[in-house]
Amino acid sequence: MTTIYDIAKKTGYSPTTVSKAFNNYSDVREKTRQDILRTAREMGYVPNAHARTLTTKKSWTIGILFVESTGVGIRHPFFSAVIESFKQVAVAKGYDLMFISKDVGGKQSGYLENCRIRGVDGVVVFLSDYVDPYFQELLDSDLPTVILDFETAQSHTVCSDNSAGALQAMEYLVSLGHRRIAHISGGMNTFPGSRRQLGYEKALEQWDLERRESYIVTGEFYTLEGGYEAMKQLLQLPEPPTAVFASGDLLALGAIMAAKDSGLNVPRDISVVGYDDIDLAKYITPALTTVRQDTALLGSQAAEVLFDTINGTLNGYKALVLPTEIIVRASCAPPPANGE
């Protein structure tokens, strides 16, 4: 088995320098690190995880907390894209990822106990039950955490500017001449859903649009089916909207399907705007106008913040709010002549 001493002899660097290169010490030049890593690969070196843990006092493992009863969330393109971005940074820094639950060996415990047993160095939270006392126990601990799409003073948080994104969507629809704009909400029980609905309601005030309770319909679980049923409900109103702002792209795609099944043309008869800019958005017909979240930046920023905390180079808690942008495609047009 190849050892660090074999690699040191091969490269001409000291065993200490080789060890530091493997453990990402900042006092090793990048060229030196790459020379050592390349030689290690060529020699088939496999690091001893136990020895690495003893040397660095780290497990080199990050816990992922993703709790969502329906199972929809983890399959959603937005979350999978953010997780992939987080993973890329973690792997580049030598970390493995592990999903965290309240079950250890078939016996229910708690998130914090599971993290202690697994020895994770930190936790990234994508979805959780935020009123769960076990989740609160995790936040109350000294274990480094970062949370996506949430706000709390007890942890680092990273999210898009959900309210501003909703305003961007509404501003675009108003610029086309729409006055009867409905909202398929993600629900006030989710942080992004509540912030986007608040942005929608703020836009109604800003542009002096009538607020109609019947124009706000919740799309269950951010799914195609939820968007489909919500749009069906809106189209059955005595005075249906001329445009719909959906809180997520899957909701918007479901809404477009419902409009087509009702004999309407999108965007000639009704316009639809989504939120997220998932990959599918540009390939459907019509291509979806949507609010883009930078999933790559969300994941990478969450990772950098967490690793800076683990390494002791970041004090206090960061609350990062990232900008969004409207992506104009083919799903929107001015309202029909009788719909202004």
In a domain, 311, yes or no: yes
Region 167-188 average pLDDT: 97
- Taking only the tens place, the pLDDT of each residue in 32-56 is 989 998 998 898 876 665 555 555 5
Considering the domain architecture, whether residues 268 and 206 belong to the same structural domain is answered as yes
In a domain, 229, yes or no: yes
In a domain, 131, yes or no: yes
| Chain-centre distance for alpha carbon 191 | 12
Considering the domain architecture, whether residues 282 and 171 belong to the same structural domain is answered as yes
In a domain, 192, yes or no: yes
Question: What total of structural domains would you count in the chain?
Answer: 3
Instruction: Collapse the DSSP code of 328 into the 3-class scheme (helix H, G, I; strand E, B; otherwise coil) and give the result.
Output: coil
CATH number at residue 198: 3.40.50.2300
In a domain, 334, yes or no: no
Q: Average pLDDT, whole number, for the chain?
A: 90
Residue 338 has what pLDDT?
A: 67
CA distances (Å), 284 to each of 232, 254, 266, 325, in order? 20, 11, 12, 20
CATH number at residue 9: 1.10.260.40
Considering the domain architecture, whether residues 9 and 50 belong to the same structural domain is answered as yes
pLDDT at 155 over 80: yes
Give the whole-angstrom CA distance, residue 73 versus residue 321.
21
Range(s) of the domain holding residue 128: 61-160+295-322
Considering the domain architecture, whether residues 184 and 286 belong to the same structural domain is answered as yes
Residue 121 has what pLDDT?
A: 95
> Considering only CA atoms, which of 332, 145, 148, 135 is closest in space to residue 246?
332
Region 9-19 average pLDDT: 90
Which pTM does this prediction carry? 0.82
Residue 27 has what pLDDT?
A: 85
Q: Please give the structure tokens belonging to residue 287.
A: 């291509």
CA distances (Å), 281 to each of 86, 99, 249, in order? 22, 29, 7
- Taking only the tens place, the pLDDT of each residue in 104-151 is 666 567 888 888 888 899 999 988 788 888 899 999 999 999 999 999
Residue 76 has what pLDDT?
A: 82
- Taking only the tens place, the pLDDT of each residue in 240-279 is 999 999 999 999 999 999 999 999 999 999 999 999 999 9
Is the model more confident about 2 or about 190?
190
Share of the chain above pLDDT 70, in %: 91
In a domain, 195, yes or no: yes
Considering the domain architecture, whether residues 289 and 173 belong to the same structural domain is answered as yes
Is the model more confident about 29 or about 328?
328
DSSP class of residue 275 equals E
Give the whole-angstrom CA distance, residue 295 versus residue 281.
14
- Taking only the tens place, the pLDDT of each residue in 56-92 is 578 889 999 987 655 566 678 898 899 999 999 998 8
Considering the domain architecture, whether residues 26 and 82 belong to the same structural domain is answered as no
Region 158-164 average pLDDT: 97
Considering the domain architecture, whether residues 262 and 316 belong to the same structural domain is answered as no
- Taking only the tens place, the pLDDT of each residue in 218-231 is 998 889 999 999 99
Considering the domain architecture, whether residues 135 and 193 belong to the same structural domain is answered as no
Residue 49 has what pLDDT?
A: 55
